[in-house]
Amino acid sequence: MIEDVNNEDDTPVPLDGDDEVLIQEIYSNVKMDDLRTSLAYILGLQKASLDDEGLGLNEAGVHLLRNPLTELLSIEGDKVLEAAIKLFIGLPNADRDYNTTRQIFMEFNDIPDFPSLSQVKNIIMILTGIKLVIHDMCPKSCMAFTGPFVDFNHCAECGESHWKTDSNGELEGGIKQPSMQFSMLLLGPQLQAMFRDPVKAKEMGVQEMYNDFFDGLDYLEAVMAGEINEEDITIMFSIDGAQLYRNKASDCWISIWVIFDCSPNTWYKKQYVLPGVIIPGPNKPKNIDSFLFLGFQPIAAIQREGLPIWDVARGLMYLGNIYIIIATSDGPGLAYLYLNGLVGHHGRNGCRLYCGMPGRHKEGTPTYYPVMKRPDAAPPGSDHPNVDAEHFSCSSETYMSNLAKTGISKPSIFLGFQCGRTLGVPKVFGSDIMHLLSLNLPDLLIPLWRGTFECDPGDAKSTWRWATLALPDVWKAHGECVGAAIVNIPGVYGRPPRNPAEKIHSGYKAWEYHLYLYGLGPGLCITSFPLHTGAISVSSQEELKTANHLFIEFTEEYEDLYCERKVK
């Protein structure tokens, strides 16, 4: 149970919008502490204002956000300022070493006026829009002391002290010093700074239509409904664990914002990928909402009142806004972090897109599988009719209805963003295509073909007619064919697949799996694979429909060949 929570007088004021009212009603009625905490963060975002204390901006910062500079910022021709910035960036520990190095530099070069540490930080902040906000967190990375936890003296998850203590548990030096902190960079100032750069502002103003998500029905409907306007900025949120050291597991979590209002060729270039929250380890966060809240709060506030932008390319000031078009992580991350608030992929409704497809399970086991065709002698709960994948769709209305009935693991913090400023939950959450195609499917199909896939005692591998690579000599010969193909794969394709018979358990990369299965697979499958594979390149609506049909056909053939409507 959570300590230090006082729920006597914290019932929020009703807000506009049907979904906000529904969240309000759920919050008023629910008694579970964890659920109330999630709802408290959502309601905190719905009420967010740039004038809120603890937003990470002082009075001058808020004024600058509402009244951005209207001049081209450049350091060209100012050699002293350029040297100061290079010095600050080049020092491994600028906070500690900058002023000493500055003094030596001034004496050696006879320069009487060289920017101080605080001056160069302020200049860089104005040039880049990088505004760092630092806040307290649990020393075991469980949660951040934000929102309903802001005044806690101990972690609500593990009980560790918020403050540095000595061996007797007393405050070090008799004062409150945070045990650990995390960093967050505000998005609004970064976006404003981009439009003050002539090159980036021109790129952001490109008015072409791309055959990408801009062709999607959800995006087009949002435009036609007036939710996305010409001056709005569409962005993607993503978060994942990061391995900073080669021989260690992921030891921090990093979120980013990707700007989509420019050519897709630039989306993932560094200058268009803006950093968000940085959560240090040593452990995975247990309450991700508490960390994201600090960065989401100013965005929700901007969505309420708009983001003033001075566009140097057009020489004008206008009021834009932020529209979150996609929020993503890898599949396990979405479930583990409860980013979308849904059950894991082994739950009965485990689809990441909340399509409504019910899973099936074996009798006496809690794990569900996304099986479309009803197995023979299916146990209760799995004996529903065959599923038609052609007619599934993601529904925000169904999500909100189930949320009101507490039929979802937890409400997503994305419900806190302003109505009409995201695609809505769960539509805003994408699927994990990269891992699915390049890791999950190869890890499923190759063991089946080799006959190494685990099975129930009632199943006999000797009946697996698809295990065409099971014999050691056949697998060895197949691996040699793959390895020999390296000389025929252009270098522009990236790392070619090595001999899988020798290297598949020695750091085989995702791209190797990708080229092996989809590049070489269509040729090798003629003699080796019982189920054809192949890559699909989509560049038009008709090809997209064809790809969708082929994916469904693949799934149906997979179940016919490998599942055979068997329960075990």
The pair phi, psi for residue 252, each rounded to 5°, is -160, 165
Q: Is residue 312 a contact partner of residue 201, using CB atoms and an 8 Å limit?
A: yes
How long is the chain?
Answer: 568
CB count in 10 Å sphere of residue 96: 10
Q: What are the distances in angstroms from CA 408 to CA 34, 95, 221, 425?
A: 13, 46, 26, 12
What string of DSSP letters covers 348-384? TT--TT------EE-TT---EE---SPPTTPPTTS-P
Work out the average pLDDT over 431-449: 84
Please say if the pLDDT value at position 534 is more than 70.
no
Select, from the ranges 135-149, 232-246, 365-379, the one with the highest average predicted confidence (pLDDT): 135-149
Rounded Cα–Cα distance for residues 160 and 137 (Å) = 10
DSSP state of 154: B
Q: What percentage of residues in the chain have a pLDDT greater than 70?
A: 85
Angle ∠(185,191,262) on CA atoms, nearest 5: 125
pLDDT at 2: 33
Spatial distance between the Cα atoms of 422 and 401, rounded to a whole number of angstroms: 19
Residue 531, pLDDT score: 53
Radius of gyration for the chain, computed over Cα atoms and rounded to the nearest angstrom: 27
Q: Identify the weakest region by mean pLDDT among 69-73, 230-234, 416-420.
A: 69-73
Task: Please check whether residue 319 is in contact with residue 306, taking contact to mean a CB–CB distance below 8 angstroms.
Answer: yes
CA dist 85 and 120 (Å) reads: 6
With 50 as the cut, is the pLDDT of residue 100 above it?
A: yes
Angle made by CA atoms 160, 165, 167, in degrees to the nearest 5: 100
Across 546-554, average pLDDT: 84
Contacts of 275 (CB under 8 A, 6+ apart): 185, 254, 255, 256, 257
Cβ pair 65, 56 in contact under 8 A: no
3-state secondary structure of 124: helix
pLDDT band at residue 13 under the 50/70/90 scheme: very low
Tell whether the model's pLDDT for residue 5 goes beyond 60: no
Band (pLDDT 50/70/90 cuts) for residue 438 is confident
- Tokens for 228, please give them: 């996305």
Secondary structure (H, E, C), 277-323: EEEECCCCCCCHHHHHHHHHHHHHHHHHHCEEEEECCCCEEEEECEE
Query: How many Å apart are CA 492 and CA 489, to the nearest integer?
Result: 8
Mean of per-residue pLDDT scores for the chain:
83
- pLDDT tens digit string along 119-160? 998 888 888 888 888 999 999 999 999 999 999 999 999 999
What distance in Å separates the CA atoms of residue 128 and residue 155, rounded to the nearest whole number?
Answer: 35
Q: Are 568 and 459 in contact (CB under 8 A)?
A: yes
Three-state secondary structure of 496-508: CCCCHHHHCCCCC
Comparing 171-180, 283-292, 353-362, which segment has the lowest mean pLDDT?
A: 353-362
Of the pLDDT bands very low, low, confident and very high (cuts 50, 70, 90), residue 245 is: low
User: Model confidence at 566, in pLDDT bands (50, 70, 90)?
Assistant: confident
Beta strands in 78-146 (DSSP E): 132-137
Check residue 322 and give its pLDDT.
96
HSE on the CB side for 528, CA within 13 Å?
A: 26
Checking if the pLDDT of 9 tops 80, the result is no
Greater confidence (462 vs 302) lies with 302
| Confidence at residue 249, expressed as pLDDT on a 0 to 100 scale | 58
Q: What is the pLDDT of residue 538?
A: 57
Does the structure show a pLDDT above 70 at 394?
A: no
Burial of 92 (0-12, 13-18, 19+ CB in 10 A): exposed
Confidence (pTM): 0.81
CA distance 511 to 497: 8
**Residue 496 β-bridge partners:** none
Interval 272-320: pLDDT, tens = 889 999 999 878 899 999 999 999 999 999 999 999 999 998 889 999 9
DSSP string, 23-59: HHHHHHH---HHHHHHHHHHHHHHT--TT-TTSS--H
Phi-psi region at 377: left, alpha or beta (left = phi > 0; alpha = psi -120 to 50): left
What pLDDT does 122 receive? 87
Contacts of 21 (CB under 8 A, 6+ apart): 14, 15
Q: Is the backbone peptide bond immediately before 472 cis, with ω within 30 degrees of 0? A: no
Distance CA 335, CA 343 (A): 6
Q: Report the C-alpha dihedral over residues 114, 116, 120, 123, rounded to 10 degrees.
A: -90
Q: In the predicted model, is pLDDT for residue 45 greater than 90?
A: yes
3-class DSSP string for 243-282: CCCCCCCCCEEEEEEEECCCCCCCCCCHHHEEEEEEEECC
Q: Taking a C-beta distance cutoff of 8 angstroms, is the pair 22, 263 a contact? A: no
In the beta sheet, which residues pair with residue 235? 259, 324
**What's the pLDDT score for residue 11?**
38
Place of tokens 């791309």: 210
Per-residue pLDDT, averaged over 57-81, amounts to: 85
Residue 552: pLDDT over 80: yes
CA-wise closest residue to 275 among 189, 150, 147: 189
Predicted local distance difference test score (pLDDT) of residue 95 = 87
| Residue 513 pLDDT > 80 | yes
- Kindly indicate the confidence band of residue 549, based on its pLDDT and cuts at 50, 70 and 90: confident
Residue 80 has pLDDT above 70, yes or no: yes
Per-residue model confidence (pLDDT) at position 66: 94
- Per-residue confidence at 483, pLDDT binned at 50, 70, 90? very high
Q: Which of 154, 130, 124 is nearest to 142 (CA)?
A: 154
What is the band of 529 on the pLDDT scale with cuts at 50, 70, 90? low
Highest mean pLDDT among 63-77, 87-101, 420-434: 87-101
